Structure 1
Amino acid sequence: MDVAIQSALLLFGIFFVLLLVGVPISISIGISSFVSVLVILPLDTVATIAAQRIFGGINSFALLAVIFFIMAGSIMNNGGIALRLVNLAKLIAGRLPGSLAHTNVVGNMLFGSISGSAVASAAAIGSVMAPLQKKEGYDKSFSAAVNIASSPIGILIPPSGVLILYSLVSGGTSVSALFMAGYLPGILMGLAVMIVAYFMARKRNYKVSDKVTFRQAVSVVLQAIPSLLLVIIVIGGIVAGIFTPTEGAAVAVLYSLVLSLIYRALKWIHVIKILKETIIMTGIVLFLVASSSIMSWAMAITSLPAVISEGLLSISDSPVIIMLIMMLVLLVIGTFMDLTPAILIFTPIFLPIATQLDIDPVHFGIMLVFNLAIGAMTPPVGSCLFIGCSVGNVSIEQVIKPLSYFFVALIITLFFIVYIPEITLFLPELLGL
């Protein structure tokens, strides 16, 4: 036990010190994990096993799904799909006060569900909506806050590379079940943002969009259907067992590429940009997975998850209290750590505790992702926050006040997700997953 505590202090102590001095997170994970195991094993053994763990961590066919979804999201971001989804979102939400704000939310839900990327959604939908909202007299800090708060919804609504990553780290939780489980929490997340936007828009007297004719509505729907069919094809194929998540991701790449070519929005310069973005993001993800596999081994060999589990369960044996503690820890972690490394690091720590409390791994996965998604919109390292501010041409200081109202609404929604598991598990159970 003393060795485990000593190793844990070294692991997290070195990790956070390296992060504070600006060392990239993948390198911080690898160095801290390597050093912490030296307490138990000799250097040559640690070096050999660490190299094997690095190779084993990325030697996974399922990881191709994450890579393909990254490429599909990049194609959609450059292929003229966002504008058609924004038009559909405007048709859906156009009669509400502050209709452009609601259009932004629905647009992020639609685009996020197709691209599976919060950052891509914040950039694509935000860049379309910001000029429109400025023209209609919307306060730019309010507009940016709406975009920032709603862009992480795509992390939950499938297809989602993050949920596939959780499936891998958790030891094979059903991807189909996770995909179905993400729908209702994702929709609730969007509704929470829209409710806050509704009251803020009414207070500021933002107007309703003009009515559209039936012919215009039909035209908008018809233009958006090909994009929406991607979700039906990919998710339907995975859930029905027609193809695996990896094959579904490859289908998403091919479909989005063909669709972008049909729209004539994709040029050769875009292809080069897409490949570059995919290569960079793939390198980041694979490096994170590789280094995190060393950390998983370090935690396993030192029995760290068992020590943390005993510590938490010594505080209380109530699932309500333990889940509250885990939720608060993850909220704090999400404010200064990106979602991917947080999932890789904390799933092996908290999932055994959740399983011990008879919490369904699917429910826990959605709770984990929802929790960390909130961190994507908060300083100091929220990726959606920085992209949203850049697209909206506002400073972080300007957007913090309006963003805080959305933050509170999302925390309340998180409590519902955590303590009412039926919200998450209804669709998977209905489909027998």
Structure 2
Amino acid sequence: MDWIFDYVDETVFAAVLLFGLFFGMLAQGVAIAVAIAVSSILTGLFFLPPDVAFFVAAQKMFAGLDSFTLLAIPFFILAGNIMNKGGIAIRLVNLAKLLGGRLPGALAHTNVIANMLFGSISGSAIAAAAAVGGTMAPLQKKEGYDPGFAAAVNIASAPSGILIPPSGPLILFSLVSGGTSISALFVGGYIPGLLMGLAVIIVAGIIAKRRGMPVEPRPGGREALDTVLQALPSLMMVVVVIGGIVIGAFTATEGAAVAVLYCFALSLAYRLATWREYVEVVQESVVMSASILFLIAASGIMSYVMAITGVPDAIADALLYFQNPFAILLIMNVCLLVIGFFMDLTPAVLIFTPIFLPIAQEVGMDPVQFGLMMIFNLGIGSMTPPVGSVLFVGCGVAGLSIERVSRPLMPFFVTLILALLLVTYVPALTLGLPRLFGLM
């Protein structure tokens, strides 16, 4: 098939074929992992003999999973699922109500704070949107909140949890990027995660004040103390796991195993889950882990095909043509936002980290800052149609159509874009804490 390259540049042909096949299969409803693997193998057949192409595909799939650090992902998934079943959400909602109850639109602020707390513990924006949204929706309806506004607040704030550690997407980025420090990513994620939540709180507060939404009555001292004490054991999981990783007591994988044991012990203490539910939790975790691991394995083939055809280098040359770092980072953010509209976070990290990370480093951006910028960006994508998983879950929990929620969601979307630009152009927001703790 070499005659094709007499008329078309090899790299351009590879890029068009690879991504054309990939997005074409996605449009036909093919599973993402299968689309990645099949499009990569078919493209590879134009550049390698068939026996070599299939052998390398199998080799790269195995190599993509041959990592001790990768064990952290299924462990954190299991820990998060145990927390979901163990009666954690209502305790965190009560704590969030205590923290945000004196502001106009108190239940909206409660929703945001609870998503930040629960998302950081469960490590999943979808879990936060479902658990917290399901708890808050009846309370907000009872207080007369507009359903579209309430759902928009829940959807916009749920992704903050994937930036506040422990975070599966940050572990995934560490692996794909070639070993960026997980400790630095975890500690660096606190400020961007808080910034995302604060952006939603500001918009919700302005809207609530204009509409005259109510505040919560001030709780008594004893009631406030009981609320804090009930939520404290759940919050201590983050302290134990992240503290242990930062001080070097254990690795991220060992920390994930500690999180599972801690969550299981806490769930037993609360006595809110049956043994049958624990079996269901393990089954759900196996399915979720298998789907993510298959994605990682398939992305190993795509990364190899892109490397041998020079696709990342060609994209880098095209972007670096602009020479202005400000413009290059802006273009990258626009590309990632568009990608986030059509692709879930996990495959987007797997496919586009090898393409964009070298470009970011070329213009002087640290891998830790780039990773947090990328996860922040794709987190915004998870709340937008047509593929936004958090959007679908949030609408499902609220019992509303996407059209009903889209308009109330727009002010939050715009504010989160401004917060994303701060993360992109102010390195101290992502690198300040890791440097303070000596992790960089």
What range describes the TM-score normalised by the shorter chain of this pair? over 0.9
Q: Displacement of 1:272 after TM fit?
A: 2.1
Q: How far is 1:64 from its partner?
A: 0.7
Query: Deviation of residue 5 (structure 1)?
Result: 1.6
TM-score with structure 2 setting the length? 0.97
| Structure 1 residues 298-340: Cα deviation after superposition (integer angstroms, max 9, x where no partner) | 11111211111111112x1111010000000000000110000
Distance in 2, matches of 1:278 and 1:242, equals 26
Identity of aligned residues (%): 60
One of 342, 347, 350 as aligned partner of 1:344: 350
Structure 1: gaps (5+ residues): none
Corresponding position of 2:335? 329
Q: Which residue pairs with 2:324 in the alignment?
A: 318
Tell me the amino acid that sits aligned with residue 358 of structure 1.
G
C-alpha root-mean-square deviation of aligned residues, in Å? 0.8
1:87 equivalent in structure 2: 94
Report if aligned partners of 1:3, 1:39 keep a CA contact under 8 Å in 2: no
Equivalent residue number for residue 19 of structure 2 = 12
Residue deviations 1:153-186, cap 9 Å, x none? 1110000011000000000000000001100010
Specify the alignment match of 2:360 in structure 1. 354
For residues 152 and 423 of structure 1, the distance between their equivalents in structure 2, rounded to whole angstroms, comes to 18
- Per the TM alignment, residue 269 of structure 1 is displaced from its structure 2 partner at its CA by 2.4
Counting only pairs closer than 5 Å after superposition, residues 28-47 of structure 1 correspond to structure 2 as 28-47=35-54
User: In the TM superposition, what are the counterparts of 1:10-409 in structure 2 within 5 Å?
Assistant: 10-314=17-321, 316-409=322-415
Tell me the distance in 1 between the aligned counterparts of 2:72 and 2:101. Answer: 35
Q: What amino acid does structure 1 have at the position aligned with 2:418?
A: I
User: Structure 1 stretch 399-408 or stretch 261-270: which is displaced more?
Assistant: 261-270
Deviation at 1:246, TM superposition (A): 0.3
In 2, Cα distance between the equivalents of 1:113 and 1:369? 14
Partner deviation per Cα, 1:266-315 (whole Å, 9 max, x = no partner): 1122112211210110111011001000001111111211111111112x
8 Å CA contact 1:68–1:250 kept in 2: the answer is yes
Match of 2:433 among 406, 412, 427: 427
AA at the equivalent of 2:327: I
What SS is found at the alignment partner of 1:60? coil
For structure 1, which segment, 27-36 or 173-182, has the greater mean C-alpha deviation from structure 2 after superposition?
27-36
1:144–1:399 CA contact under 8 A, matched in 2 = yes
- The C-alpha deviation readout for 1:184-241, integer Å capped at 9, x for no partner, is 0100100000001011111222100111001111110111110010000000000100
Q: Structure 1: how far apart are the matches of 2:125 and 2:315? A: 31
Name the amino acid aligned to 1:391. V
Q: Distance in 1 between matches of 2:19 and 2:342?
A: 14
Distance 1:106 1:346 in 2: 31
**AA of the residue aligned to 1:339:** L
Give distance in 2, aligned partners of 1:278 and 1:62: 17
Distance 2:71 2:213 in 1: 45
CA distance in 2, matches of 1:366, 1:178: 7
TM-score, normalization by structure 1: 0.99
Q: 1:269 to 1:204 in 2, by over 3 A?
A: farther
